[in-house]
Amino acid sequence: MVTGGSGFIGANFIRYLLEEAGFEGRIINVDKLTYAGNPDNLADIEHEYPDRYIFSQTDICDKAALENIFERYDIDAVCHFAAESHVDRSIVGPDAFIRTNIQGTFNLLELARSRGDRLSLFHHVSTDEVYGSLGADGLFTETTPYDPSSPYSASKAASDHLVRAYHRTYGLPVTVSNCSNNYGPYQFPEKLIPLIILNARSGKSLPVYGQGLNIRDWLYVADHCAAVWEIMRRGKSGETYNIGGRCEKQNIDVVRMICRLVDELAPAIKPREGLICFVKDRPGHDLRYAIDCTKLEQELNWTPRETFETGLRRTIRWYMDNTAWVERVQSGEYRRWISAHYGTSTRG
Write down all domains in the chain, each with its CATH number in brackets: 2-184+218-245+289-305 (3.40.50.720)
- Options 16, 53, 131, 152, the catalytic residue: 152
Predicted TM-score of the model (pTM): 0.92
pLDDT value at residue 333: 52
Q: Read off the pLDDT of residues 113-123 as tens digits, 9 standing for 90 and up.
A: 999 999 999 99
Least confident of 209-213, 234-238, 259-263: 209-213
- Parallel, antiparallel or unpaired: strands 77-80 and 2-3: parallel
Q: Is 152 a catalytic residue?
A: yes
Q: Read off the pLDDT of residues 261-309 as tens digits, 9 standing for 90 and up.
A: 999 999 999 999 999 999 998 888 888 989 999 999 999 999 999 999 9
Residue 308: CA atoms inside 13 Å, Cβ hemisphere, count? Answer: 18
- Options 128, 217, 230, 248, the catalytic residue: 128
Residue 241: CA atoms inside 13 Å, Cβ hemisphere, count? Answer: 27
* pLDDT, mean of residues 129-155: 94
pLDDT value at residue 334: 47
- Measured CA to CA in angstroms, residue 197 lies from 181, 232, 261, 301 at distances of 16, 33, 9, 33
pLDDT value at residue 348: 30
pLDDT value at residue 89: 86
335 has pLDDT over 70 = no
* pLDDT, mean of residues 55-59: 97
pLDDT value at residue 34: 84
pLDDT value at residue 285: 87
* pLDDT, mean of residues 149-169: 97
Distance CA 293, CA 139 (A): 9
pLDDT value at residue 86: 78
Report the mean per-residue pLDDT for the chain: 92
- Measured CA to CA in angstroms, residue 342 lies from 43, 272, 289 at distances of 14, 40, 38
pLDDT value at residue 206: 96
* pLDDT, mean of residues 130-142: 92
Q: Is 129 a catalytic residue?
A: yes
How many helices and strands (H and E) does the chain possess? 14, 12
> How much of the chain, in percent, has pLDDT values that exceed 70?
95
φ, ψ (nearest 5 deg) of residue 92: -80, -40
**Per-residue confidence at 159, pLDDT binned at 50, 70, 90?**
very high
Q: Read off the pLDDT of residues 321-332 as tens digits, 9 standing for 90 and up.
A: 999 999 888 775
Q: Read off the pLDDT of residues 13-33 as tens digits, 9 standing for 90 and up.
A: 999 999 999 999 999 999 999
